[in-house]
Structure 1
């Protein structure tokens, strides 16, 4: 840089001196020529001519001296001003070179490709840790360029110098202290005669490279994120969407960019919702919440959304960014969980009251059966029949409560569903008004599922009863269809808890009044009903839901107000087709033998004595398990059978049976209970009991259970 300034100064000095000499010669020639010509014309006297010539010479000397003074003074003044300007420029350029973020340098390149460095700023030492000696600049710098980049560095410099074109290079550098960094070399040529003068700068771009790498990683993460990302300008016009957005919404990037997010509006949120959203964003605050959008195919999607204003460091708004996490499936799972929790809660309540309620029903049903069994009065029989029907309805109500809470023992067996459908339709025909048409369709020959026949019957009865109720004031059609459908994870109606495979599809539809969308999500809730007071318990659909779930299936509803409702049930199909046949009815058997009957509730104990003695048995009753054990120990062989309740104070029926079986292992024992979470037929048989009965027990069921237990027993007991 100094050499370039000195060269310019030297050229100016040479030009100024030549200018003075030229002016002096030109003026001298003009003076001599014109003065002699004029004098020769004016002066004829030789003596006067001599005097005039002397005066002319003196005048020439004075004039030329004055002229030289003016020229030299002007030159010196201009030279001083030029030097001051050069000094000021040098100071300015040095200040610029010192304060720019990079290292300023200058070199002269020849046609042969050699580079003579004429200037390097002091920042070379600060930035790159190298000496500012001009002769060693390029060799020293290239030695610290990373080996993988060094040949490219030298080749690019040589190519630029030879061709006289601008030079630009990015590469990696290692300082003498071992610190790595990225650099950028830039140089611009200016031809100066046979050589080319290059002015350039070396920049430390390490931070820029890190930022570029961070930006690349961020872009990689956004492009592969599961959450959809949407970026708009300040006016809400979409500038960018990531692939997750395309996948979730169904809109491609080309279909989205240039439009506004309103293309996703579902209509679920009202105008005030969006007004509040924009008010929050325009105040510079991040908005977070749950929003329902609509896919391109029309399906609704729910998302947890966070929308943030994008601001520059100066606080200027440049746009908005929205991050949306698709929670559609999570919301479905939450709904299923809440439904399951409701079922569990009501099931806990059911278990708490079932035992006592069944004991009450046992007394009512038992004594009514005894009265009907013993009376022949035709006027009394109808009243007893009504009492028994009420007891049976109460018993079924408890069973329904225990069914949806999965607290009732199930008898799962391979069964064909078609006969059950035909049976239910036959039962309903007598009570269906003539304004309702019944249609059935059996579209699959394979309808065998693993199920409890009684519960499948109950599901169909509940659904068909609800359908008939929906058409009670109008003409309509009750349609029941059976079909086969293979469900996979991609099926529209597939629940996460199901297994993939073939399913029996059972559809019960009606053309009734439909279900209000506002209550559609509540129809499977326990005790929820839209019927008038006294028309329903609100347990029908809860029971259906519990049974279907307990059979490894699913149920969903489609309804349109004023047009009707369709319930669709899917149950896993079995590979083998096995037809189920119902149990054969049998007469109430009587018998003889000595039975020890144990129950802590006196009405139930008295009822047991009445029922068993009416069948011909000799019965001893104990109201305490401890008293019963003491009586048995006194005469173990005096009893042919023991019937004991499960839930009793001091000692449970299971423990009592165990103590008795220790004394007499061949003793037939029947265990009964109104309700128990831990005890069922399988557990009772593991304890050594012959049978297990759930209260309330009818006279016929009790008679058959006693007969079976005694037939497997030993000889009659010694009295």
Structure 2
């Protein structure tokens, strides 16, 4: 009641007296000052927002609301606006009596008497800290999406270049004697290109939810194939031991993701042993009981049967305080310039997409052991043996990037294929009118006619032709609608090497011979 009387005393005009109780009861903070800017009244909502009572601020300047965080000149501009008889509105920061910063939406207006003379100034303040926090989070999400889009586009262009470099390096290595003086140099180029390819793949998947393209895999065969690649990536000062359990059941997984997971973990282990050491790569079957797991666990372990991939090193180890951050994007314990902080983040995303989890044991200076647990599915059988010779087939290669197209053509010719090539879908259709082929290898994005339309046309006219789709984007970025419209075809992701080209062609031809649909 005293507050109501005080408001009535300050605001003496009859028209405003009707609102005096509303000022006291309103949820928004209200401040009334005289024409010189001295505070005369604040309502209870002001005290709740700022912590200041009427006794704290009576006679003081509204500048105290700035709390030292307003931009230079803002108070002067506000004061000038209302002295001319105009209202001022905006969102500004404030500081409470306890020092906490907050955001407030301020409406400042002059109060005039019946003759139009300004007698008081009134400000209404509303706390918008929550809204500003949501706005900031939305901005950060949009910023990350924009950065991811930009990075993805740049990585896509690098993938095209890396495909050419990697492909021709491997073609030069084929049949070359290890004693050749250029052999070691070519291996070094291959190694560095493969490292760049992994960075490009990780950038492509940055900020994207992984969508694995799963199929039954013979785990031992996958590791043995990866072993050849790793021989070029690991220096002689690192001694490698492989431990592969026999008679492992087929694992339903994305083969590209599986290779990326193991490769990233092995490269991480290599970088942890700059002076050399011991590295063990293993795989075994294990029944998981979550309460008995050792070390730091990333993910959601559920009881059941898993295939466990392990990578153990005797390197520098990981500090205890870094264990919970090691899988965050851009976080790295490596020296500046030695790591991107993307490898383990990519591993975590791909493992999660497969319904698995990761355990990590490490101490600073005592090495590290990463274990990746991927769940087994009952009743899954592996693919039958392949053995189709590429010499039997004729292939149409459609790719608008000249370098990538030449790598594909040269690799397939080396294997004995008869190869036709085209720079876009229209050119390919013209040639297919004159020539029969067993296999179509086509890029997805091309001028004049893209891969999706080309595949649809070929499916209508030549349903017996098998298809391999070349994509410069990660599997997580593919439109699921495109996937369903294009049917069950193999996908080959850039950057790829000669061995990947030949493996995909062999698998596609094997499915053709066996009357099966191929898929990755």
User: Normalising by structure 1, what TM-score?
Assistant: 0.44
Using the TM superposition, name which of 317-326 and 420-429 deviates more. Answer: 420-429
Is residue 231 of structure 2 the alignment partner of residue 430 of structure 1?
A: no
| Superposed CA offset, 1:510-537 (max 9, x none) | 999xxxxxxxxxxxxxxxxxx99xx599
Is residue 439 of structure 2 the alignment partner of residue 641 of structure 1?
A: yes
Q: Give 5+ residue unaligned stretches, structure 1.
A: 1-210, 433-440, 450-467, 469-475, 484-503, 513-530, 553-577, 583-587
Preserved CA contact (<8 Å) 1:355 1:675: yes
Query: Which SS does the other structure have where 2:108 is aligned?
Result: strand
Could you say which residue in structure 1 is the equivalent of 2:96? 295
Is residue 398 of structure 2 the alignment partner of residue 598 of structure 1?
A: yes
Query: Which SS does the other structure have where 1:303 is aligned?
Result: strand
**Cα separation, partners in 2 of 1:510 and 1:314, compared to 1, 3 Å:** farther
Could you say which residue in structure 2 is the equivalent of 1:392? 194
Return the offset for 1:240: 2.4
Match of 1:325 among 106, 118, 126: 126
Query: Which SS does the other structure have where 2:397 is aligned?
Result: strand
Could you say which residue in structure 2 is the equivalent of 1:625? 425
| Superposed CA offset, 1:631-680 (max 9, x none) | 54556xx5432212223344322222222222343432111133599855
> Which runs of structure 2 are paired with 1:472-491 in the superposition (5 Å)?
479-482=321-324
Q: Give 5+ residue unaligned stretches, structure 2.
A: 1-13, 215-252, 276-293, 303-315, 354-371, 377-385, 516-520
Query: Which SS does the other structure have where 2:469 is aligned?
Result: strand
Preserved CA contact (<8 Å) 1:365 1:391: yes
Could you say which residue in structure 2 is the equivalent of 1:612? 412
CA distance in 2, matches of 1:481, 1:216: 64
Could you say which residue in structure 2 is the equivalent of 1:382? 184
Return the offset for 1:232: 3.4
Preserved CA contact (<8 Å) 1:598 1:625: yes
Query: Which SS does the other structure have where 1:712 is aligned?
Result: helix
Preserved CA contact (<8 Å) 2:31 2:42: yes
Is residue 239 of structure 2 the alignment partner of residue 239 of structure 1?
A: no
Preserved CA contact (<8 Å) 1:481 1:506: no
CA distance in 2, matches of 1:297, 1:505: 37
**Cα separation, partners in 2 of 1:714 and 1:242, compared to 1, 3 Å:** same
| Superposed CA offset, 1:252-293 (max 9, x none) | 756756474566453323786556655666676655444321
Return the offset for 1:397: 4.9
Could you say which residue in structure 1 is the equivalent of 2:504? 705
Could you say which residue in structure 2 is the equivalent of 1:580? 374
Could you say which residue in structure 2 is the equivalent of 1:179? none
**Cα separation, partners in 2 of 1:358 and 1:425, compared to 1, 3 Å:** closer
Return the offset for 1:368: 0.8
Query: Which SS does the other structure have where 2:68 is aligned?
Result: coil
**Cα separation, partners in 2 of 1:697 and 1:351, compared to 1, 3 Å:** same
CA distance in 2, matches of 1:422, 1:360: 25
> Which runs of structure 2 are paired with 1:399-418 in the superposition (5 Å)?
399=201, 401-404=203-206, 406=208, 410-411=211-212
CA distance in 2, matches of 1:333, 1:220: 30
Is residue 515 of structure 2 the alignment partner of residue 673 of structure 1?
A: no
- The structure where helix makes up a greater share of residues is 1
| Superposed CA offset, 1:365-404 (max 9, x none) | 1111111233224432332233234433543454455444
Query: Which SS does the other structure have where 2:374 is aligned?
Result: coil
> Which runs of structure 2 are paired with 1:87-166 in the superposition (5 Å)?
none
**Cα separation, partners in 2 of 1:394 and 1:430, compared to 1, 3 Å:** closer
**Cα separation, partners in 2 of 1:284 and 1:688, compared to 1, 3 Å:** closer
Is residue 362 of structure 2 the alignment partner of residue 362 of structure 1?
A: no
CA distance in 2, matches of 1:420, 1:599: 28
Q: Which has the higher contact order (CA 8 A, sep 6+)?
A: 2
Query: Which SS does the other structure have where 1:579 is aligned?
Result: strand
**Cα separation, partners in 2 of 1:236 and 1:424, compared to 1, 3 Å:** farther
Could you say which residue in structure 2 is the equivalent of 1:164? none
Indicate the structure (1 or 2) with the bigger Cα radius of gyration: 1
CA distance in 2, matches of 1:695, 1:330: 43
CA distance in 1, matches of 2:400, 2:296: 54
Could you say which residue in structure 1 is the equivalent of 2:485? 686
CA distance in 1, matches of 2:267, 2:99: 39
